[in-house]
Chains A and B, each alone.
Chain A
Amino acid sequence: MSRVDGLLGAVRRRQRMADAAWGLTRIALPAGLWLAALTLVAIRRFDAPSQLLWLTALPVPLVLAWAALRRHPWRAVARRVDEHYGLDDQLGNALELQARPPRADDPRTADIVAIMQERAQTLAASLDPRPVVPLRVPTPRWTDGLAAAAAVGGMLVPPPDPPVVFADPDPIVIEIDRELHHEALDLALAEPLRENLRDLAATHQDTPAELAEAILDVLDALEKGEIDRATALERLEELEQLLAEAEERWEAELEEDPAMLAEAMRELAGALEQQEVTQETAKALDEGKGEQAEQALAEAGEQAQADEEARKQLDEALQEAERRLSNAAQNKDSDTDEKLDEAERRLRREEKKEAKTPEEQADKERRLKKLRDEVESLRRQQEREQKARDRLEQLRRQAKEAASKGSSPQKKQRSLEKLGRGMSQASRKSRQSQRMGQARDSLEEAKSVVRRAGQQGEGQDRRRQQMRRFSQAAKGQRDGKDSKGKDGKGKGNESTLLVEGQVGEGEPKGFMEMPGEGQGEGEGQGEGEGEGQGQGEGDGQGEGQDGQAGQGEGQGQASQGDGIGDGSVDPLGADSSMKTNMKNVRVKAKEGRGVSRAEVIRDASQEGFATEPYRKVYKDYRGFAQSAIDNEALPAAARRRIKRYYQLIQPRD
C-alpha cells in the first residue's frame, strides 16, 4: 500500500497547508485586526502598556500550531480522495480492510480484499493529490473589511498625551563672532536675569532651555566684548524670531488651556498639602515636577495600603482634591465666551457695512481679516478651555474613584495610578506653557538689558577711567596728568587720595588742589530696579601752599556701596612724608537699651499678630499672582515686575 500511503501523505500535507492558509486569512487576519483595534484603543484611551500590541501577532502562531497539530486520520483523508475522484470509498475501504481484515467464514472475502488492495494501488499511482486539496487563499469577506475598518479606527484614536516636551526640529544655534575687538560691558546688573536663564536652561531639554542658553551666550559674549551691542541686539532679534516660530507651533499643537490646567494644579497641590501623606506630592506638583508628583502619589498609595492612618489621610486628601477639581472643572470665570460673542457681533456688524470707494473697501477687508483672526483665535481658546475642563473632570472622577470607600483596593489603586498619570500630564503641559512664557520674558528682559547697557556706555567708560586712576593713585603712580580737584580751583599742596584704606606705597602721583578746604564728591551709579543704596566716603589729604594742612570730607550717594568720595580729613602726618600718624581712639559704648529700630504696630497688636506662617502666605499670594499672570493679558514689563517682586519677597530659609 506504499502508493496509497504516499498519495494520502501528500494529500495530508496539502491539507495542513490549506488549513494554515484558511486559518491565517479567515481567523488570524481578522482576529489580528480586531486585536489591533482593541489594543490601540486600550493603549491610547486607557493607558494600557504598549507591549499589548504584540497580541496582534498572537493569532498567527496559534493558527499555524493548529494547522500543524490538527488530526487528519488516514481514513478521512482517503475518504476525501475517494470523494474527489468519485471512487466510492475504494481507497478508504482497501486501506481499512488491510488494517482490520473482516471476520468471514467465506475464504472469498479475503480474496476480495486482496483484489481491492491491488486495485487501490493501481488507482493511487494514477491520482494527483493537488486537485484534491486546492491551495487557494480565501476571498475577503465583509467581516474582514469590518475588522480592517476597526483597526484603522483604532489608529485614528488620538494617542495618549505625550510628555509635554516641545520638540524643536532645529536646535537653536546662534553664531557669535568671538573675536575680542569690542569694548567689554559690565553686565553685573543682569545677574538676576542670568540666574533665571540658567534655571530655565538647566531643568529641561526643550526650546525654552535652548533659548535660555542662547541668550546666556549672547550676554556673555557682550560682556566679554566679543560682540558689540548692535550685534547682541541682532542676535536677540534672531532668537525672538525663533521663539515666535516655536510659540506658533506650540499654539497649533496646544489642545487644552494651560492656564486653566495650571490653576487646577495649584488647587490640587493645595488640597494634597493638607495631609501629611500627600505633602510630597503637593510639593512636587507645586514646583511643576509632574513626574515626581506622580511618583510621590504612587508612594502615598503604597503607604496607604500598609497603614490605616495613611489610608484615611489619603482618602481625605483625595476627597478634598475631588472637590477642588470639581470647582476648577466648573470654573466659568473665563471671559472667552463673552469676548467671542462680542468679536462675532463686531464681525457681523463689519460685514454689513458697505464700502463706497475702493479705499474703503480695502480698509474694510483689512478690518474683516483682523476680526476673523480674532474670532478664530477666541474659538480655539474656547475649545481649549472646554478640553481642559474635560481633562479636569476626568481627573475628578479618578480622584473620586480612588477615594471611594466602596471600591476594591485594586480598583482604587488603579484609579490612583490614573490620577497620578493625568496629574503629571496636566502639570507638564501647564509647566511647558509657563516655560514658554518665561523664555519670552527673559528674552525681552535681555533686550532691555542690552539696550540700557548701550545707553549707559559713556558713564561706564568714565567710571572705568576713574577706577583706573584711583588704582594708580593708590599705588603712588602718576599717570602723567595731574589730577585736579573738581572745581579746578585748588592750588594747595598735592594731596594723595587713598582709596578704601589702601595706603600709598610710592611717591604720590595724584594731587588735588584745594582752596583751603577740600571738597569731595562721591560718584556712584546704581542699576537695576532702583533698589539698594549705599554711602561712599572718601578721605583725602591735601596740602595747601601756605603750609596749612587742607582738610576735606566728601560724601557721595552711591548705589551698591561702591561710592567713592574725595575730599580731605585731618592730616595724619607730615605732608611730605608717606608715614602716617597713628591715633588710637577709644570709643565708649553707650549703655542701656540703645536706639531700637523695632516698631510696634499698634493696630496689629490690638487685632492680634499673624499666626499664619509667612511661607504659606507667600505661596498663596504667589499662586494668585501667577494665576493673574497666566490668565490676563498683561504687558511683558508688568509681568516682569510682578515676578521680580515675588522673587524679592520670597521666604528665605
Chain B
Amino acid sequence: MSTAITTAETQQALQQLQDDLRRLVDEVQRVIVGQDRVIEGVVTCLLAGGHGLLEGVPGLGKTLLIRTLAQAVHLDFARIQFTPDLMPADIVGTSVLVQGEEGFGAGARLEYQPGPIFANIVLADEVNRATPKTQSALLEAMAEGTVTAGGQTRRLPVPFLVLATQNPLEMEGTYPLPEAQLDRFLFKIRVDFPGEDELMSILDRTTGNEGQEVKPVLDAPRLLQMRELVRAIPVAESLTRYVVRVLRASHPDDKHAPDLVKRYVRFGGSPRGAQAMLLAARVRCCLQGRLSPSIEDVRAVTPSALRHRVILNFEGEAEGVQIDSCLAQVLDAVPTD
C-alpha cells in the first residue's frame, strides 16, 4: 500500500515538475522571441546544475534571455562585462579597509566586499575579452561553487549558475578560453540569427511602449527540488552505453570514429561531456513530458554538450572544419543497438 502511495506521489511530483518547466519556458518565451533551442539549452543548464556558454553575435538577445530567466526563477542575477582590464577582484570581490570610529586609525578593519559572482545567476558577458588571469577567477567558482579571497573561502549561493557569452566574430584582442575552463561549462549553446518571422515579432515587441513584465514562476528551493527529481529519473543501460559510445567515437582513435573525426580531431570529449549528455538528456525528457530519456534525447543534446570539448587538430583548424559536422557524423556512425 505504501508503495502505491509513493508511486502516486512520485507520479504527481513528476507531473508537477513537467508543469513547472512548461510554465518557466512559457514565461521566458513571453519575452524572448524564437530561440526555442537556446531557451531549452539554458533551462537545461539550470535544471542540470551546469553552466552555459552562449556563443553568438551581438544583439541576439543573449543578455536579455539570461536576465529574463533569472527573473522567472526569482533568483539573484549579476552581470559582469568582461574587458581586458577586468581584474579577478572585480569578479570575486575584495577586502577593503573600512574606517573605524577613529577613521583609518584604530578600529579600522578590512572588510570583504563580495564581487558580482555572489549571485544565483551570473552573466559573464563577452567572457573571452578578459585576460586569462581574470578568466581563471571564474574557474574555482564554476567548479567548486566557492570563492577564495583574502585567504578565506566563501561559498557561493545555491543555486549558482554562470551563463557566459562570447562573440565569435571579433576575435582580435580576445583571450580564447582554455580547454580546462571550457570543460567546466555543461553546454556551449550557439545562438543563431533569428528568422524573418521572429525578427518581425521582435520588432513588434521591442519598439512599442509596452514592456513585457516577467513573473517569477519558480524560486530557489523549488528549483533545487526539481534538480533532485531530474537526477532520479531512470536511465536504461543501453542508453548509457550509447552515450559512452558517442563520447568515445568523438576520439579519433575509436573504432566507431567517422572519417572526419579521424582526420581533423585532435582530442575528443572528456568524461564530463558524457555526464553532461546524460544529465541533459534527462532534463530534455522531462521537458518533453516523458519519464525516461531516449536515444533521440541524447542525439539532441550531444552537439551542445560536446562542441566545446572536442579539439580540432591543426589541419582541422586550417580547413575550417565545423565541429558540429564532426559530431553529426559521430551520431550517424555510432550504432544504436
Per-residue A-contact encoding for B1-44, CB less than 8 Å = 1, 0 else? 00100110111011000000000000000000000000000000
Residues A100 and B237 in contact, CB atoms below 8 Å apart: yes
A637-B13 Cα distance, complex, nearest whole Å: 120
Per-residue B-contact encoding for A45-75, CB less than 8 Å = 1, 0 else? 0000000000000000000000000000101
Is A113 part of the contact surface with B, judged by Cβ < 8 Å?
yes
Residues A89 and B11 in contact, CB atoms below 8 Å apart: no
Residues B292 and A108 in contact, CB atoms below 8 Å apart: no
Binds B, one of A91-99, A403-411, A524-532, A584-592: A91-99
**Closest beta carbon of chain A to B91's beta carbon, Å:** 35
Is B244 part of the contact surface with A, judged by Cβ < 8 Å?
no
Is A76 part of the contact surface with B, judged by Cβ < 8 Å?
yes
Residues B235 and A75 in contact, CB atoms below 8 Å apart: no
Residues A97 and B234 in contact, CB atoms below 8 Å apart: yes
Known: A88-B297, A93-B236. Is A115-B290 also a contact (CB below 8 A)?
A: no
Residues A115 and B10 in contact, CB atoms below 8 Å apart: yes
Out of B3, B232, B295, B337, which one reaches A112, CB within 8 Å? B232
Known: A88-B294, A106-B231. Is A96-B10 also a contact (CB below 8 A)?
A: no
Known: A88-B290, A90-B290, A116-B292. Is A73-B10 also a contact (CB below 8 A)?
A: no
A329-B83 Cα distance, complex, nearest whole Å: 100
Residues A112 and B336 in contact, CB atoms below 8 Å apart: no
Give the chain B neighbours of A96 by CB distance below 8 A.
Answer: 236-238
**Closest beta carbon of chain B to A100's beta carbon, Å:** 5
A92-B290 Cα distance, complex, nearest whole Å: 13
A130-B231 Cα distance, complex, nearest whole Å: 37
| Interface residue SS majority, chain A | helix
Per-residue A-contact encoding for B200-219, CB less than 8 Å = 1, 0 else? 00000000000000000000
Is A546 part of the contact surface with B, judged by Cβ < 8 Å?
no
Known: A76-B337, A102-B234, A111-B6. Is A93-B294 also a contact (CB below 8 A)?
A: yes
The residue on A at minimum CB distance from B228 is: A106
Give the chain A neighbours of B220 by CB distance below 8 A.
Answer: none
Give the chain A neighbours of B238 by CB distance below 8 A.
Answer: 75, 92, 96
The residue on B at minimum CB distance from A118 is: B7
Residues A88 and B296 in contact, CB atoms below 8 Å apart: yes
A104-B294 Cα distance, complex, nearest whole Å: 18
Is A229 part of the contact surface with B, judged by Cβ < 8 Å?
no
Is B158 part of the contact surface with A, judged by Cβ < 8 Å?
no
Give the chain B neighbours of A114 by CB distance below 8 A.
Answer: 7
Give the chain A neighbours of B233 by CB distance below 8 A.
Answer: 109, 112
A89-B285 Cα distance, complex, nearest whole Å: 11
Is A608 part of the contact surface with B, judged by Cβ < 8 Å?
no
Q: How many chain-A residues does the 8 Å CB contact rule pick out?
A: 28
Give the chain A neighbours of B10 by CB distance below 8 A.
Answer: 108, 111-112, 115
Give the contacts of A536-557 with B (CB-CB under 8 A). Answer: none
Residues A89 and B294 in contact, CB atoms below 8 Å apart: yes
Is B89 part of the contact surface with A, judged by Cβ < 8 Å?
no
Per-residue A-contact encoding for B229-265, CB less than 8 Å = 1, 0 else? 1011111111100000000000000000000000000
**Closest beta carbon of chain B to A567's beta carbon, Å:** 123
A106-B230 Cα distance, complex, nearest whole Å: 11
Per-residue B-contact encoding for A72-89, CB less than 8 Å = 1, 0 else? 010110010010000011
Out of B229, B232, B237, which one reaches A104, CB within 8 Å? B232
Is A119 part of the contact surface with B, judged by Cβ < 8 Å?
yes
Is B113 part of the contact surface with A, judged by Cβ < 8 Å?
no
The residue on A at minimum CB distance from B296 is: A88
Known: A79-B336, A88-B297, A111-B11. Is A93-B6 also a contact (CB below 8 A)?
A: no
Give the chain A neighbours of B14 by CB distance below 8 A.
Answer: 112, 115
Known: A75-B238, A93-B239, A112-B291. Is A106-B232 also a contact (CB below 8 A)?
A: yes
Give the chain A neighbours of B297 by CB distance below 8 A.
Answer: 88
Is B322 part of the contact surface with A, judged by Cβ < 8 Å?
no
Known: A88-B296, A106-B232. Is A115-B11 also a contact (CB below 8 A)?
A: yes
Out of A89, A108, A113, A115, which one reaches B229, CB within 8 Å? A108
**Closest beta carbon of chain A to B227's beta carbon, Å:** 12
The residue on A at minimum CB distance from B233 is: A112
Per-residue A-contact encoding for B281-322, CB less than 8 Å = 1, 0 else? 000010010111111110000000000000000000000000
What 11 additional pairs, Cβ within 8 angstroms, besides A79-B337, A88-B288, A116-B292?
A75-B238, A79-B295, A88-B285, A89-B293, A89-B295, A104-B232, A111-B11, A112-B291, A112-B292, A114-B7, A115-B10
A–B pairs, 7, beta carbons within 8 Å: A82-B294, A88-B288, A90-B294, A92-B238, A112-B10, A115-B7, A119-B291
Point out residues on B near A: beta carbons under 8 Å.
3, 6-7, 9-11, 13-14, 228-229, 231-239, 285, 288, 290-297, 336-337
Q: A-B pairs with the 9 shortest C-beta distances?
A: A89-B294, A111-B10, A106-B232, A88-B294, A93-B292, A96-B236, A108-B232, A111-B7, A102-B234
